[in-house]
Structure 1
C-alpha cells in the first residue's frame, strides 16, 4: 500500500526533526506535483515522485545569488520524497494584485537567475527543449482559443538558461507590500528563458510583462514564444481548476483571456 502524503511527511519529520513529533501537522496547500504541510515553523513539501535531492542542491546553489528569498532546505529525505525548509513570509499572489515595483524586482530576479552558468547545475537539473509544438499535446479548452493556439506555434528557441519554469502567481509569496519569496522549484530546468516570463504575462498582463522585461534588460525575439506559452498555461490552469474544483485557478485563467485571446 502506498503511503499517503501526510504519512510521508510525518515519517520525514520523525527522522529529521524529532523535536517536532508532538506538534500538529497542518496542510498548507497542494498543486499538481506537491503537497505541503506545516509543523511548528517547518514546511514539509511532499513530492509526487521521490527525487527531492536534486532540487535541494539547486536551492542551496541559487539562494545566495538571487535578490528574492527562496526556500533553503533543512533536509531532503529521498526515501520519503520530502523536502523540509523554514517557511517564508507572505502568501501566494494567485488572485491578488501585485504591489508596485513587483515587476521590476522580478525582472532583476530573472536576470540574475538566467545568468547562472548552466554547467553549474549539470548534476541536478535536466535540460528541456521547450518545443512549442509539444505543448499542443493533450491541450484542452474552448475550441475558439485552441484554434488561436494551434495557428500561432512559434519556432523553438536555441537559447538555454537556468529557469524556474513555473513562475506563476501561485509560486510568488507576497506580504502586502511586495514579493517575499519564490517557491516550488520542482519544475526548474535548463530551458528557454521565455518560459519564465510566460506565466507572469498570463497572471499580471502586458504592462507588467513590459516592466519585467525592461528591468531584465530585454529578451529579443521572445515575444511570440512568451505569448504562446502563456496561452497554453492559461488553458492548462482553466482545465486544472475545473477538473479539481480549484476555482481560483479557473477564475485567474479566465481573467487572463482578455489579453491573451483578444477574439
Structure 2
C-alpha cells in the first residue's frame, strides 16, 4: 500500500469513480486516525490502522435507526484504507459556541436511538470494549492538580454496554442553519459504556447543555455511577485534546480544551 494518504485517496478514486479521475483532490482535515480529502463533492477518508470495511458496514446498519444523517457510503477500498461518501452539508461545531443552543434535544434523541440498537445486529461491525476507567489515566498528561483529581476519583466500570459513537465531540458534529446536518467519523464506534457518548458533549458544551441532552435522552439511571463516569471521561478527554492541540499546533483544540477546564475542574479555578 502506498503510505501517502493523498496518493492512496487519488488512486482509490481513479479505480472506483473513474469519471472523477481528473478532479483535483484537496485536503479537508487531519486527525489522529484519519486524513480526509474532497474531490468533486466526494469525501475520501483515508484511515490509519482500522478497518474501513467494518466501518462501512456499521454505517449502513446504523443509518435506518437514527434521525441524524450519517455518511452514506459510496465505495470502500479496504486495501487502500479509503472510505468514500458524498459530502454532508454544514460545518463542524468545534470552536462555534454560538451554533449549539438548539442542538441539545436532537443530540439527546440521537443517543437514545443509537443506544437502543440491538448490539447483536452489529456483531462483527463494532468491537466490544470493556475498558476500565482507570486505564484512561495511562500516559495522560496535564496539570498535576488536575491529574491528582482524576486519580482520586476513578469511577467503577460500567455494567451496561450499548452501541456508542465513542468519539462524539464537536469536531464530528455538523451544523447548518441551526440544525444538525450530520455526525461523522464512526471509526471508534464500539459496544461500550454509554457514558462515553455524553462525556465529550459535556466537555465541549458545558453542564447546561449536558443536562438538556440527558433530559432529551430520557434521563440516566441513578445506579451504575454513570454520571461519575461522564465527568471522569470528559475530564480525561479535555486533557487529551489540550495535549493534542499543543503538540500539533491545532489552536482550535487547545482553545476549546482550555475553556472546558473551568467547568470540568472548578476547584482548580
Q: Pick the TM interval, shorter chain.
A: over 0.9
What runs of 5+ residues in structure 2 fail to find an aligned partner?
none
Q: Does residue 39 of structure 1 match 2:22?
A: no
Q: Please state how far the C-alpha of 1:158 moved relative to its aligned partner.
A: 1.1
In 1, Cα distance between equivalents of 2:115 and 2:145: 35
Q: Deviations over 1:130-164 (max 9, x none)?
A: 31010010000111111111111000011000000
CA distance in 2, matches of 1:64, 1:16: 25
Structural mapping, 1:199-218, within 5 Å: 199-218=200-219
Q: Would the aligned equivalents of 1:89 and 1:180 in 2 still touch at CA under 8 Å?
A: yes
8 Å Cα contact 1:50-1:79 kept in structure 2: no
Inter-partner Cα distance in structure 2 for 1:137 and 1:13: 39
1:49 is displaced (CA, Å) by 1.9
SS of corresponding position for 1:154: coil
Which residue of 250, 253, 256 corresponds with 1:252? 256
Q: Is residue 162–residue 191 contact of structure 2 (8 Å, CA) maintained in 1?
A: yes
Task: Please list, as runs of the form range in 1=range in 2, the aligned pairs for 1:17-36 lying within 5 A after superposition.
Answer: 17-36=17-36
Offset at 1:2? Answer: 4.6
- Which residue pairs with 1:110 in the alignment? 111
- Separation in structure 2 between the aligned mates of residue 225 and residue 3 of structure 1, nearest angstrom: 38
Please state how far the C-alpha of 1:175 moved relative to its aligned partner.
1.3
Farther off after superposition, 61-70 or 196-205 = 61-70
Q: Confirm or deny that 1:51 pairs with 2:55.
A: no
User: 1:101 deviation in Å?
Assistant: 2.3
1:160-171 equivalences in 2 (<5 Å): 160-171=161-172
Q: Is the 8 A contact 2:204 2:260 kept in 1?
A: yes
Which string of whole-angstrom CA distances, capped at 9 and with x for unpartnered residues, describes residues 1-43 of structure 1? 8520001001110111110010011000011100000000100
SS in 2 for 1:73: coil
In 2, the alpha carbon distance for the partners of 1:35 and 1:204 equals 25
Q: Deviations over 1:150-198 (max 9, x none)?
A: 1110000110000000000000001142211100000000000000000
**Partner Cα separation in structure 2 for residue 199 and residue 245 of structure 1:** 21
TM-score, normalised to structure 2's length? 0.96
Correspondence 1:63 to 2:67: no
Task: Provide the rounded CA distance (Å) in 2 between the counterparts of 1:170 and 1:68.
Answer: 16
- Verify the 8 A CA contact 1:59 1:71 in the aligned structure 2: yes
Partner of 1:13: 13
2:239 alignment counterpart? 235
Normalising by structure 1, we get a TM-score of 0.98
Tell me the alpha carbon deviations over residues 50-104 of structure 1, each in whole angstroms, 9 at most, x when there is no partner.
5100000000011111111000111110000000000100111001123432001
Deviates more, 1:106-115 or 1:170-179: 170-179
Which residue is 1:184 aligned to?
A: 185
Preserved contact between residue 167 and residue 199 of structure 1 (Cα < 8 Å): yes
Report if the CA contact (8 A) 1:132-1:154 is conserved. Answer: yes
SS of equivalent to 2:61: helix
Which structure 1 segments of 5+ residues have no match?
none
* Counterpart-to-counterpart distance in 1, 2:50 and 2:116: 29
